[in-house]
Homo-oligomer: A and B are copies of this chain.
């Protein structure tokens, strides 16, 4: 089933390294900042609403998140939030961009084993500069042929990526933690997809139904890929 695979694309955030917990922490701080104006659950919900509203215009990543934090703070405090609080949000965004990179278990071992037999690329909808920085900090750069940045992980974007790699969909495998972004659109274009769940998933990426498909595997660790691909 997996013998034809030539190129493997890895999602970056929460697949190669820890990411989502930094956003969770920033959301908690946002709720604390807003506690004079709104109950915590309400702040969380309204922030998510603001992010979803801005997503088509801003796209994904820490800079859009920071701009949404500021806009939400102003809007949902009805302009009563302090300038010092806005300054704090700017600093929080910068701190997120400077977070150390924690590579997930089994990733380096897996990349080392697959390197040479497959063209390995990193496929992310994040921000190029930020993802390049994390790739360098992670020490994983030598394993990857290049970074593929997509504005969204849709069937159309995956078809472009496969065409760009100059292979057929059945020669492409995507590995990631989001069923919505890394699995379903990939299976739909006739390619393979391995899901490695991460303990925290952004609400926007949640898909409830389990996946059953001959070109799909659910893994508990990246290292399981090695045996599956070799068999």
- List residues 51-84 of chain A with CB under 8 A from any CB of chain B: 57-59, 63-64, 66-67, 70-71, 74, 79-84
A97, CB-defined interface residue at 8 Å: yes
What DSSP secondary structure best describes chain A's contact surface? helix
- List residues 17-67 of chain A with CB under 8 A from any CB of chain B: 57-59, 63-64, 66-67
A128, CB-defined interface residue at 8 Å: yes
1/0 per residue, CB under 8 A from B, across A144-161: the answer is 001001110000000010
Q: Report chain B residues within 8 Å CB of A218.
A: none
Report how many residues on chain A are interfacial, defined by Cβ distance under 8 Å: 34
Q: Pick the contact of A160: B74, B146, B149, B160 (CB < 8 A).
A: B146
Q: Report chain B residues within 8 Å CB of A64.
A: 63
Q: Report chain B residues within 8 Å CB of A84.
A: 79
